[in-house]
Amino acid sequence: MKPSVYIGIDLGGTSIKMGLVDQLGNILHTLESPTPVKAGYHQILAVFSQMAEQLFRKSQYEWKDIIGVGAGVPAFLDQQKGIVVEAVNLGWDHVPLKADLERMWMVPIMVDNDANAAALGEMWSGAGKGASHLICLTLGTGIGGGVIINGNIYHGANGCAGEVGHITVKPQGGRRCNCGRKGCLETETSATAIVSDALEQVKGMSTGPLKDEYDRTGTVSAKSVVQLAQQGDSICLEIITKVGCILGNTLAQMCYLLNPEVIVIGGGVAHAGKILFDPLTKAFNKAILPRVAENTSIVPAKLGNLAGLTGAAWLIHRKYTLNKP
């Protein structure tokens, strides 16, 4: 029997997701395990190895069935050489991940940034299925972005294409970003931004659902702001509406440059649904020329937190099954 399936890995700062993926992009089995960040690089490779063995025990597959392994990593990478240049959350600096995994597993390995992997996953078997020109935004604690042109990730001159989280959207009076600048898309529209907005509102409040939430738990979460907004709380609704407006306007600017078929919005914040997507679409339509956007749809992501491992598997699928660079 010829090798027929892939292993996809989504390495995050808190957990590692690993799955067996078939040649149509269907996930057959998955596993999740905490990331031993403090134990370091080699311990994380050891966990990869244990997880692969567990996957084989769960399924009828073994190493001879594996075409190759793809991994998405939260990092700046030299994708061609398979070197992780800098992964701040993991404390990695110039590690030869591709070469080390090839030595460990003796199968072809491909690596890419985690946000790029998520975009590829959505293109292969998620909300962007069938599209060749796609932008994918993941709205979580931070904001990840992936740009797909002609069916392949666009990496740019040194792998930084798609770093949309640091597009300046509020040059005056924006919050300070981890990148050192102010008013980035990430500081104004991520889950972290929603929490900051809500905490600022709570300060001036004597009563109300948001204040009750704060008094009960000592803080507020983006999830609770979304839930309160969905229940009709006007202050929370205003926070989510503002996020939608900024996103819609920013996506329109991206469309003038890239003219995508699909814009996929994923991550926890996207679960807000209609209360986010309605103001987003309105702001988008206001900022875009109809001709530019007539073939563009804005849709919520479909694969959830399995997009990354699916797209990581696609990296191998493309190179070793479709024989494309």
* Binding site residues, Zn ion, CB under 5 A: 166, 177, 179, 184
Pick left, alpha or beta for residue 77 (phi over 0 → left; psi -120 to 50 → alpha; otherwise beta): beta
HSE, side-chain direction, 13 A CA sphere, residue 198: 31
Whole-angstrom CA distances from 293 to 126, 155, 208, 285, 290 are 21, 24, 40, 8, 5
What CA–CA distance (Å, rounded) separates 166 from 183?
A: 8
Minimum CB–partner distance for residue 249 and Zn ion (Å) = 17
Minimum CB–partner distance for residue 167 and Zn ion (Å) = 9
Task: Write out the two tokens for 102.
Answer: 């090839």
Minimum CB–partner distance for residue 182 and Zn ion (Å) = 8
What CA–CA distance (Å, rounded) separates 94 from 82?
A: 10
* Contacting residues for 91 by C-beta, under 8 A, at least 6 apart: 37, 40
Of 112, 60, 43, nearest to 84 by C-alpha is 112
What CA–CA distance (Å, rounded) separates 228 from 201?
A: 14
Which C-beta is closer to Zn ion: that of 167 or that of 205?
A: 167
Minimum CB–partner distance for residue 158 and Zn ion (Å) = 18
Of 89, 66, 75, nearest to 117 by C-alpha is 75
Which C-beta is closer to Zn ion: that of 138 or that of 305?
A: 138
Minimum CB–partner distance for residue 13 and Zn ion (Å) = 17
Minimum CB–partner distance for residue 281 and Zn ion (Å) = 25
Which C-beta is closer to Zn ion: that of 67 or that of 184?
A: 184
Q: What is the 8-class DSSP label of residue 81? A: T
Which C-beta is closer to Zn ion: that of 133 or that of 166?
A: 166
Minimum CB–partner distance for residue 89 and Zn ion (Å) = 15
Pick left, alpha or beta for residue 17 (phi over 0 → left; psi -120 to 50 → alpha; otherwise beta): beta
Minimum CB–partner distance for residue 175 and Zn ion (Å) = 10
Which C-beta is closer to Zn ion: that of 17 or that of 166?
A: 166
Task: Write out the two tokens for 283.
Answer: 């702001």
Which C-beta is closer to Zn ion: that of 10 or that of 188?
A: 188
Q: Which amino acid is at 146?
A: G
Which C-beta is closer to Zn ion: that of 190 or that of 201?
A: 190
Q: What is the 8-class DSSP label of residue 182? A: B
Residue labelled with tokens 């493309």: 318
Which C-beta is closer to Zn ion: that of 95 or that of 177?
A: 177
